[in-house]
């Protein structure tokens, strides 16, 4: 990390150089979504007419959101309150779109609601065990669609140039993001102690700055997420861990990409409880 002193500040300063300029956000997102969709369609036939619209919004507690509207359509919203860094394009395109929430919801509608007539699956209880699998698959889906080396190549050769960023910087940025990603569980601890009333807002923000390397604005946005969604926060990283362990345990590790897609897609198509996944992964 360039510079001297506090690592969180140096990381923030370094990362600022990788924000997508305002006028290029839409082009970068459309390219990212098209690539995620193409890779997903190579492994699963999606219902005819599936589509989504992309909107840019402000003043939200999240960075991206998928609103599933039924009839295989979604509205995907991207929050532009804070700078959008280049790595977020593939993250959000996969997570909210393909093979994440949009695909998950479209397959539920196709296979369960219409295919089997299970009308209760047309209701999605957000605060439920289902969300651990929904967020876990949406996050793990990033690595399914874009294994590390392929992700770096696509970002460096396609997204960096589209955003006007220097492709020569892509490899180091990718590596930094991979390492910072390992700090994600620190956020759960901040949420737990803050929601339990053990920590004040300021203490929780300070923890996120020091242990999750978030800048003050990002940490404040995260607190807003804790306030709104409370323990839902664990669905992302613990859900991803659960899904990864399960898929790997079923023979779908990185060395077996075809099997990886197969196990992953079965998780989207068939209702399962988190306890069944955890039991199988053990
Ligand atoms: Zn999500």
Q: What is the mean pLDDT of residues 101-109?
A: 96
CA proximity to 279, closest of 252, 242, 234, 248: 242
Residue percentage of the chain with pLDDT more than 90: 85
Q: What is the mean pLDDT of residues 226-245?
A: 95
Number of domains into which the chain is organized:
1
Which H/E stretch holds residue 57?
strand 51-57
The Å distance, Cα 206 to ligand 1 centre, comes to 25
Report residues near ion ligand 1: CB below 5 Å.
Answer: 135, 138
Asked whether residue 61 is assigned to any structural domain, the reply reads yes
Q: Find out whether 120 and 220 touch, Cβ atoms under 8 Å.
A: no
Asked whether residue 246 is assigned to any structural domain, the reply reads yes
Encode 45-63: b = buried (16+ Cβ within 10 Å), e = exposed.
Answer: ebeeebebebeeeeebbeb
The Å distance, Cα 63 to ligand 1 centre, comes to 10
Pairing of strands 51-57, 73-79: parallel
The Å distance, Cα 134 to ligand 1 centre, comes to 7
* pLDDT tops 80 at residue 281: no
| Cα 213 from Cα 86, distance rounded (Å) | 17
Asked whether residue 146 is assigned to any structural domain, the reply reads yes
Beta bridge partner(s), residue 56:
78
CA 55, distance to chain mean position in Å, is 17
The Å distance, Cα 76 to ligand 1 centre, comes to 11
* pLDDT tops 60 at residue 282: no
The Å distance, Cα 236 to ligand 1 centre, comes to 7
Asked whether residue 1 is assigned to any structural domain, the reply reads no
Encode 90-101: b = buried (16+ Cβ within 10 Å), e = exposed.
Answer: bbbbbbbbbbbb
**Domain encompassing residue 140:** 7-281
| Cα 202 from Cα 177, distance rounded (Å) | 25
Asked whether residue 177 is assigned to any structural domain, the reply reads yes
Interval 53-104: pLDDT, tens: 999 999 988 888 999 999 999 999 999 988 899 999 999 999 999 999 999 9
Asked whether residue 2 is assigned to any structural domain, the reply reads no
Q: Is the pTM of this model over 0.75?
A: yes
CA proximity to 97, closest of 28, 50, 133, 130: 50
The Å distance, Cα 137 to ligand 1 centre, comes to 9
């Amino acid at each position: 990390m360039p510079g001297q002193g506090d690592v969180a500040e140096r990381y923030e300063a370094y990362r600022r150089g990788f924000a997508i300029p305002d006028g290029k956000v839409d082009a970068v997102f459309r390219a990212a979504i098209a690539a995620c969709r193409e890779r997903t369609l190579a492994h699963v036939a999606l219902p005819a007419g599936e589509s989504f619209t992309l909107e840019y919004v402000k003043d939200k507690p999240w960075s991206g959101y998928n609103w599933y509207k039924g009839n295989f359509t979604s509205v995907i919203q991207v929050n532009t309150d804070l700078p959008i860094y280049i790595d977020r394009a593939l993250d959000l395109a996969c997570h909210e779109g393909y093979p994440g929430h949009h695909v998950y919801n479209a397959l539920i509608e196709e296979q369960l609601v219409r295919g089997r007539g299970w009308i209760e699956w047309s209701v999605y209880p957000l605060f439920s065990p289902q969300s651990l699998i929904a967020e876990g698959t949406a996050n793990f889906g990033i690595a399914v669609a874009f294994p590390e080396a392929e992700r770096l190549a696509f970002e460096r050769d396609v997204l960096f140039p589209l955003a006007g960023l220097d492709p020569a910087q892509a490899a180091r940025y990718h590596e930094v993001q991979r390492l910072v990603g390992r700090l994600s569980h620190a956020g759960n601890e901040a949420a737990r102690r803050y929601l339990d009333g053990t920590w004040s807002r300021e203490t929780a923000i300070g923890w996120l700055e020091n242990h999750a390397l978030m800048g003050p604005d990002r940490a404040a946005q995260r607190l807003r997420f804790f306030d709104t969604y409370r323990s839902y926060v664990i669905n992302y990283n613990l859900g991803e861990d659960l899904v990864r362990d399960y898929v790997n345990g079923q023979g779908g590790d990185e060395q077996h990409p075809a099997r990886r897609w197969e196990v992953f897609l079965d998780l989207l198509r068939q209702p399962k409880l988190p306890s069944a996944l955890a039991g199988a992964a053990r």
